[in-house]
Amino acid sequence: MIIDAETCTGCRRCIPYCTVGAIKLNGKSVFIDQDTCVECGVCLRSEVCQVDSIGQPELSWPRVLRAQFSDPAVRHPTGVAGRGTEEMKTNDVTGRFKEGEVGFGFEFGRPGVGTTFADVEKATRALAEHVEFSKDNPVTLLIDPKTGRLQDNRVRRERVLSAIIECKTSEEKAVEVIRIIQTIAGKIDTVFSVDAINRCVDGTIPVKKHLDKAGIHVRVNGKTCIGLGRPLADI
Ligand code: SF4
Ligand code: SF4
């Protein structure tokens, strides 16, 4: 996103609209820090500028990734709008996570901090040998799933509002995966949360006993399928 210095009056009204603090003051004029801007489109869509000084130039690769991951109005090549797949959280239609498996979602940059793909890659590289990455996830599309490395080095410096790594492993390996993430957490320069998804059996959450034993506290949330999705796979 850019601000037209010729027409901008310097009124500052747009500054608080930026999701990541990229609209900055330089003396009396206002500009958008291009390194910080994640191309979320909020400043433009809000129509806060009375003189139409905010504009969206055409984005080329790899900068276009910023908009694809940060602006819900921009379509991602995977067809997934935004950062991750809805199916990860509902496990509703495809039955992605079978009994004995644990799904993981690592949500980088939320809320309101943002992340670079360099930080996302630290996690995908550390996880690669231990998990199976979800095929239709926007982050997976950018990496070599065997090594977790970004396929295009230029992507590393791109910043987005958030990105979700989605993957799965066995219940027995769930603790190992969390330990790996704990090991690299100090090297990651943003906030992130960890979602673990496990199919209930007889009213219990099987992976919880492994996590409890390892001293890993989890907050249990429920997503209840009310039959709107028709399962396409056996569980
Ligand atoms: S596009 Fe988003 S990140 Fe960029 S300046 Fe506008 S509100 Fe801020
Ligand atoms: S709202 Fe428009 S005129 Fe005011 S500072 Fe922002 S870009 Fe400039």
Residue 100 to residue 123: CA distance in whole angstroms:
23
Tens-digit pLDDT profile for residues 123-169: 999 999 999 999 888 999 999 999 999 999 999 999 999 999 999 99
3-state secondary structure of 195: strand
Q: What phi, psi does 198 have (nearest 5°)? A: -140, 135
Instruction: Quote the pLDDT of residue 83.
Output: 64
Rounded average pLDDT over 102-125:
94
User: What's the gap in Å between 105 CA and the centre of ligand 1?
Assistant: 26
CB 93 within 8 A of CB 232: yes
The two structure tokens encoding residue 34: 């291009």
User: What's the gap in Å between 9 CA and the centre of ligand 1?
Assistant: 18
Cis peptide bond prior to 111, omega within 30° of 0: yes
Instruction: Quote the pLDDT of residue 223.
Output: 64
Ligand 2 proximal residues by C-beta, below 6 Å: 3, 8-14, 30, 48-49, 51, 53-54
- What pTM was estimated for this model as a whole? 0.88
* Cα–Cα nearest to 6, from 55, 65, 59, 72: 55
Instruction: Quote the pLDDT of residue 44.
Output: 97
CATH architecture of the domain formed by 80-213: 2-Layer Sandwich (3.30)
The answer to whether residue 226 scores a pLDDT higher than 60 is: no
User: What's the gap in Å between 168 CA and the centre of ligand 1?
Assistant: 33
Domain residue extents for the chain: 1-57, 80-213
CB 130 within 8 A of CB 173: yes
Instruction: Quote the pLDDT of residue 94.
Output: 72
Give first-to-last CA distance, the chain, whole Å: 45
Tens-digit pLDDT profile for residues 70-90: 998 887 776 665 566 666 666
State which fold the 1-57 domain adopts.
Alpha-Beta Plaits (3.30.70)
153-172: buried (b, 16+ CB within 10 Å) or exposed (e) per residue? eebeebbbbbbbbbbbbebe
Residue bearing the CA closest to ligand 1, atom 3? 37
Tens-digit pLDDT profile for residues 6-36: 999 999 999 999 999 999 998 888 999 999 9
Residue 66 to residue 35: CA distance in whole angstroms:
11
Rounded average pLDDT over 159-186:
94
User: What's the gap in Å between 1 CA and the centre of ligand 1?
Assistant: 6
Ligand 1 proximal residues by C-beta, below 6 Å: 1, 17-20, 22-23, 32, 37-43
Q: Which ligand is nearest to the CA of 9?
A: 2
Q: Do domains 1-57 and 80-213 have the same CATH topology?
A: yes
